[in-house]
């Protein structure tokens, strides 16, 4: 296991410690939160942990079932105690870019239904300003090129920097769990994430974007020195 994978494992396992018996928990998507799910599965089998969970993607659902985790429809739980998820970038305000795995809409729905959002990350995800990681925007397939054109107008970037995400195994466009496309925006820097999020989601063809503003409470950050806990500033 290489250094980055070791850090992901450290963060994922540490975050599982926030989960207590009887909790209602959202389970995120990605290579770091995978270790949280594996640890929760171990605790269910070995320690008798009893929790009710909601997955944010089909891939997370499949892994959770393999681990013997009890899954439920979100509405049936009437809110969640916490969600543990990953991020592609986060800044000092705990504003996030998410969606590298394509599950951004379900992730945001579940995050907004949770009392607390815990992010698991390795030290490569911490940035001074968001934008180096391309911003994912989920768009409906109907007239997606027109939606892309409107996004270009809003962001003032060339169409060549707004790329439809591809499934490299099939060489076809990637289809989200919701049956839509994802456009990845190469912005380089995002000066006003809340404003940009608001402008993007007002477009009729946009389902949502990968900016998570004011939602995350805690980051469990793994670096070579160990685990650092970063809390949202009051």
Confidence of residue 234 (pLDDT cuts 50, 70, 90): confident
Domain boundaries, the chain: 3-125+213-231, 135-207
pLDDT score at 233: 84
| C-alpha–C-alpha distance, residues 142 and 95, integer Å | 30
CA distance 8 to 169: 25
Q: What would the CATH number be for the domain defined by 135-207?
A: 3.30.70.260
The domain defined by 3-125+213-231 carries CATH number 3.40.50.1360: yes
Give 121's contacts (C-beta < 8 A, 6+ positions apart).
Answer: 11, 32, 86, 87, 90, 219, 220, 221, 222
- What pLDDT does 111 receive? 97
- pLDDT digit string, tens, across residues 34-70: 999 999 999 999 999 999 999 999 999 999 999 999 9
List pLDDT tens digits, range 182-223: 999 999 999 999 999 999 999 999 999 999 999 999 999 999
- Give the C-alpha distances (Å, rounded to integers) separating 207 from 47, 182, 232: 40, 10, 27
pLDDT band at 153 (very low <50, low <70, confident <90, very high): very high
What pLDDT band is residue 168 in, cutting at 50, 70 and 90? Answer: confident
Q: Is the pLDDT of residue 1 over 80?
A: no
pLDDT in tens, 79-118: 999 999 999 999 999 999 999 999 999 999 999 999 999 9
Say yes or no to pLDDT of 6 above 90: yes
What pLDDT does residue 118 have? 98
Active site residues: 107
Per-residue pLDDT band for 78 (boundaries 50, 70, 90) equals: very high
Distant-in-sequence, close-in-space partners of 132: CB < 8 Å, separation ≥ 6: 89, 188, 189
What is the average pLDDT score of the chain?
Answer: 96
């Amino acid at each position: 296991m290489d250094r980055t994978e070791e850090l992901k494992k450290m963060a994922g396992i540490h975050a599982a410690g926030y989960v207590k018996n009887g909790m209602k928990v959202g389970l995120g998507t990605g290579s770091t939160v995978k270790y949280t799910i594996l640890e929760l599965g171990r605790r269910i089998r070995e320690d008798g942990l009893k929790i009710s969970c909601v997955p944010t993607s089909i891939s997370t659902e499949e892994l959770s079932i393999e681990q013997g985790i009890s899954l439920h429809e979100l509405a049936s739980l009437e809110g969640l105690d916490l969600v543990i998820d990953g991020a592609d970038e986060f800044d000092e305000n705990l504003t996030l870019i998410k969606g590298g795995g394509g599950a951004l809409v379900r992730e945001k729905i579940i995050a907004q239904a949770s009392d607390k959002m815990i992010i698991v990350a390795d030290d490569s995800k911490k940035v001074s300003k968001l934008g180096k990681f391309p911003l994912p925007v989920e768009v409906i397939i109907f007239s997606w090129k027109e939606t892309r054109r409107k996004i270009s107008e809003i962001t003032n970037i060339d169409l060549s920097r707004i790329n439809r995400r591809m499934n490299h195994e099939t060489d076809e466009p990637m289809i989200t769990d919701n049956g839509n496309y994802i456009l990845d925006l190469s912005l380089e820097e995002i000066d006003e994430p809340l404003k940009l999020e608001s402008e993007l989601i007002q477009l009729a063809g946009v389902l949502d974007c990968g900016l998570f503003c004011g939602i995350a409470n805690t980051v469990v950050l793994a670096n070579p020195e160990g685990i650092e806990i970063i809390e949202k500033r009051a």
